[in-house]
Structure 1
Amino acid sequence: MSTDPTPSSGADTPVPTCYRHPGRETYVRCTRCDRYICPECMRDAAVGHQCVECVAEGNKGVRQARTRLGARSAADATPVVTYSLIGLCVLAYVAELVSTRVVDEFAMFGGQDRFGQLIPGLGVAGGEWYRMITAMFLHQPLSAGGFALTHILFNMWALWALGPALERELGRLRFFTLYMVAGFGGSVLTYLVDPGQVGVGASGAIFGLFAAFFVIGRRMGGDVRPIVFLLVLNLVITFSASSAISWEAHIGGMVTGAVMAVAYAYAPAARRTIVNVAAPAIVLAALIVLVAVKTSQLTSGAA
């Protein structure tokens, strides 16, 4: 810190002022540029204080710490994407409680009735592709009985438990992409196997997070036994429980999430950006092609 002694009184003696706030008197100068700075503009430095501009200029040359998978490292960063996804699911559930039409209009529905007949203009085959995305944020309404409330509670607990760690390691954009593409993969397999099924839930995306947690854990040399146990337990429940559980969504999300995680975790550092962009684009394109082919089969069959 550089300071000037208080000048002797005199009419011709100028009073130094902050270079950013000319109306504020000060006798403290930036140790880097030597300009006068007021308390608001002071930033602690190794020696004395620096001004805001000098601190910003110095930070440009500092490399930001990153995780092993290339995300910007910030141990105390709030998992904004995780909390936002939870919030969207909860808001959608509240909307379901207010109006049953929410499920009717936004649930996953291929476009076939229970007899296998195509319903013109309705469902994914009728052009309502958005259902494959919106269904990811809906859950069984209370009117469905059974495990309706458990459905959303388990999915939100899993998202809260797995999301923050994955979001910190992958970064917000890659984590969001993983979640959405995995959920879409679950909807696609449901559409391919049973286009007459009506389905809701974030389970496809959640199973994608399970798979990603395992893949990334293995890549980083962590203990993956807890996630393996949880994944196996949920697969057992999926195939042993009633038909109310869509195994197609679970398996589709898990496989898609695993593929995405392998690309993220094992991408060479020198080509990480290219792989991070290409992998989800290729997976998404493949899923869209499958949907288009299935739609063509359904509509041509109906004709």
Structure 2
Amino acid sequence: MTQPSMAQGCYRHPDRPTMIACQRCRRPVCPECLVPAPVGVQCPECVRQGHRVTRTGVGPLGGHRSANPQLTTWVLIGLNLAVFGLLLATGGADSPWAEVLAITPLGTCLAGTGHYYPGVTDAAACAALPEATGWTAGVAAGAWWQALTSAFAHTDPMHLGSNLLSLWFLGPPLEQVLGRARFLALYLISAVGGSLAVMWLADASSSALGASGAIFGMLGGLLLLARRFGGNYQLIGGLLALNLVITFANTAAISWQGHLGGLLAGLAVTGVLLAAPRGPRRSSWQWAGLAALTLLLLGGIAWRAIMLG
């Protein structure tokens, strides 16, 4: 049960002070107005809204409830596995596809397995180096697809396994609350947010790949949803904090930029979904906000690419 820090007037009977608040909308309710819920209490309006949602198959944020909330997660897992299979079949970490799909702000002058020449800014300079094995163009050189494909590419089985395990645990409950379209928006926009952070904060000649940015965005989204709807957000916050500690303790091997950017983008996406006013135009406000956020992220990537070019 949620309790205000001090007595407030019931939202339906202002002359009746109460220390009890609705679990969903947080408005103060007096004993006459409260309705017992499976967890805490709710006000009459939230109970009626819940009944309408149940009847119409609409989720708490306006998205249509998926008949199978695991389906989208399975599709995303399948895409990641398919790309991993392609990279594995063409050389693994040495696959030419790895450099094509991974995000590199400027470009990479390769120097053998897992090595590159930092500070080399173009193909001509790379070709002049005797031990260079090739040049791979980055986003600034026109490889714009890397802002999204990097989130589906893995060359290390442990990296792939940890990301797909997280996706399996986080995806279905998020889709159940958000609906399929909004869950996909959270995943993909978080991935783009991770790419934006890589563009601005990582070495311009380095590269990054993996679904971790999208996973961090999902964690951020789940944290806000749990906080809004009375879930165990302390546990989710602790899990998120642990992952951030691991990230920043191993920055030599982990793209902290992608993790941080994905997290912030996931928080922003979920904030847009939660902030949209209820009513018949709620979905319109949500999708307009998500479109604006996506354009902002893509604009930031394009701006950085122009600066590097």
TM-score, with structure 2 as normaliser: 0.71
1:190 aligns with 2:191: no
Deviations 1:24-81, CA, capped at 9 Å, x for gaps: xxxxxxxxxxxxxxxxxxxxxxxxxxxxxxxxxxxxxx9523221122235x624221
Q: How many angstroms does 1:119 deviate by? A: 2.2
Q: Give the one of 111, 118, 141 matched to 1:115.
A: 118
Name the aligned partner's letter for residue 125 of structure 1.
Answer: A
1:269 matched residue in structure 2: 278
Residue pair 2:69, 2:175 contacting (<8 A) in 1 also: no
Taking structure 1 as reference, are residues 176 and 239 closer, same or farther at Cα in structure 2, changes over 3 Å only?
Answer: same
Distance 2:84 2:239 in 1: 25
Residue pair 1:71, 1:168 contacting (<8 A) in 2 also: no
2:252 matched residue in structure 1: 243
Equivalences for 1:72-83 in 2 at 5 Å?
Answer: 72-73=64-65, 77-83=68-74
Distance 1:255 1:245 in 2: 17
Residue pair 2:73, 2:172 contacting (<8 A) in 1 also: yes
User: Which secondary structure state, in structure 1, belongs to the residue aligned with residue 56 of structure 2?
Assistant: coil
Residue pair 1:111, 1:196 contacting (<8 A) in 2 also: yes
Deviations 1:101-155, CA, capped at 9 Å, x for gaps: 220221111124443342258210011100111110011x2xxxxxx32211111
Asked which structure has the greater CA Rg, the reply is 1
Distance 2:278 2:219 in 1: 24
1:124 matched residue in structure 2: 139
User: Which secondary structure state, in structure 2, belongs to the residue aligned with residue 199 of structure 1?
Assistant: coil
Distance 1:65 1:294 in 2: 43
Taking only aligned residues, the RMSD between alpha carbons, in angstroms, comes to 1.8
User: Which secondary structure state, in structure 2, belongs to the residue aligned with residue 219 of structure 1?
Assistant: helix
Residue pair 1:219, 1:266 contacting (<8 A) in 2 also: no
Distance 2:161 2:84 in 1: 11
More relative contact order, 1 or 2 (CA 8 Å, 6+ apart)? 2
1:221 matched residue in structure 2: 230
1:6 matched residue in structure 2: none
1:67 aligns with 2:70: no
2:25 matched residue in structure 1: none
Distance 1:87 1:78 in 2: 15
1:135 aligns with 2:150: yes
Q: How many angstroms does 1:242 deviate by? A: 4.5
Q: Give the one of 278, 303, 307 matched to 1:293.
A: 303
Unaligned runs of 5+ in 2: 1-53, 109-116, 124-135
Q: How many angstroms does 1:221 deviate by? A: 1.2
2:186 matched residue in structure 1: 178
Q: Give the one of 80, 85, 95 matched to 1:89.
A: 80
Name the aligned partner's letter for residue 151 of structure 1.
Answer: H
Name the aligned partner's letter for residue 290 of structure 1.
Answer: G
Distance 1:133 1:167 in 2: 20
1:21 matched residue in structure 2: none
Residue pair 1:207, 1:251 contacting (<8 A) in 2 also: yes
Q: Give the one of 256, 262, 269 matched to 1:253.
A: 262
Q: How many angstroms does 1:283 deviate by? A: 1.0
User: Which secondary structure state, in structure 2, belongs to the residue aligned with residue 108 of structure 1?
Assistant: coil
Taking structure 1 as reference, are residues 73 and 289 closer, same or farther at Cα in structure 2, changes over 3 Å only?
Answer: closer
Residue pair 1:118, 1:298 contacting (<8 A) in 2 also: no
Distance 1:214 1:78 in 2: 19
1:204 aligns with 2:213: yes
Unaligned runs of 5+ in 1: 1-61, 142-147
Distance 2:122 2:168 in 1: 38
User: Which secondary structure state, in structure 2, belongs to the residue aligned with residue 109 of structure 1?
Assistant: coil
2:293 matched residue in structure 1: 283
Distance 1:67 1:289 in 2: 31
TM-score, with structure 1 as normaliser: 0.72
